[in-house]
Structure 1
């Protein structure tokens, strides 16, 4: 193998592959990257068996060939050389020779035998969507996933398209639920569960890129394709909770407040919250303020009064302030609506000018 490519393209691709590669001591082959110059394309491939990626970058290929080398070593080398122009790659005596104008090194190769093939899908189940919308849907809900793997179905983002002609993203950890709807209808999608770790990598790899992605899937796997990138992941095998039955249909109290004012007040309240992040909420329709209170025996106390439009009944209730804070930046609205169903019952948060997102928070028992 002998070729010339640009450092910028190579470094970006190797950095992605390094994050995807496996760190399993029982399968050391997964800590490597496959460089494959097949005469037409220069491919870089890595996998940890759960996730995999293939990236094609521009290169002038003089001789075909392929080699497997430790990806972390390769990535560290590329991150520390100062040249930003061309890099020469050549295989000699089972070593990868890397040379620039001011630098020359070699990295020892690893055997090919155990390096796994990427299981690319050839599926009729696929849809195309703008990258910005797909990433937005994932980012709007994924923080609500459970971080525990005991119940993998809730350590995943639930993606489905139904008769409402909407593409829906949902996530829950059983303490809160986030749902985002986009105006797309993909009848072939049905229902899939994308693992949390997969969602993190999708966002990291594709956020900021322009154009569209193709999403291929079956019951076990998803492929996301964007021109020179093929991203592969297993899907979660399980059934997402039927969350519609826990979303309140009737409300006793509605509070409309300025989102930015609320965010700033929560930041202050967070300084004085207790070990469980308790936030005491008091709503009185006779007042024009939404009152939140936090206290800490060691630090002190904070009471914030937020101007609000209040209708309905009085309510006093306690929530985890972080659960409320997490959702607010994802609401595309200057004002938000806090909808209460009574003491001891969930809070529903929506945007006053955005009906595509809703967020449910369970109260705390204190």
Structure 2
């Protein structure tokens, strides 16, 4: 009897233990790293880029240069949830969304602000998807964007879509945008939301004689009141970069690109926008301090002249971008935001009659001060 009681006691203890009924093998899940959103004929079309982490993980046995396959899933439905369920139906294994690093939207859905808002609302409600996800727009087919590889056949996670900061540290132009930042821009008065655009460049690289296409940020979409108002190219936005606090380094040609005498790299700009009023109308003055160093010299130019010419080029580029923004009725330089922050009552008064108050003469003075830190390994002329 004592042995029977002991056996029954052991069985009761075993039955009371929790099991692993809901456990999942991590190697048997499809990890989504990028998500694409499209909208056509009244339906959401979603694309997912899925990577096998055993292929992209850096181990002692991994060989650089081996082609890493990319799996692309597609689903469609009346809602985003329905389109995801269509992907689940053929995925064969569980789909995990906790590693999504980028979302790419087509122009079709960007033009439909209500659909874009609905899609992003669903994504943010889902517990596995985080807020710090990079956002892009594109004119290209999403399947072509997701099929792009990195240089040297490195992991697709090493493309500009996932790690734009690596390129931005060498060539600062258009600042990457995270989801939570875009939401803040959407909802903040006087602050136009800006979304970088991705394209596929087929001219820059070759593997032996074979053309190797690469991803490139070629411009940006602009929004006002959650509606897309236009797109500007990277060339159109050449003056926008000088008002970015996070700019690390960006080059210019002086005195111009057609007949350059020198190449100068500009660093760490500090800009201040000051709204002023004349006869009740707002105008804006910009003061900009920026450091620089000489990267290339084709003609002998004194250092003071280099600083003077660089200041002139920066001013011209800022005015050029401002005029390009006016063409799509967008405040690219965020002048209106400075008015809102400094004179909120006046801002509300002016915007009661007109939503877009900037005019061609609204941007008045631009004072640019360039400080040349050094001329490289060679000494420059002082005068």
TM-score normalised according to structure 1 size: 0.25
Q: Which has the larger radius of gyration?
A: 2
Instruction: Indicate the structure with greater helix content.
Output: 2
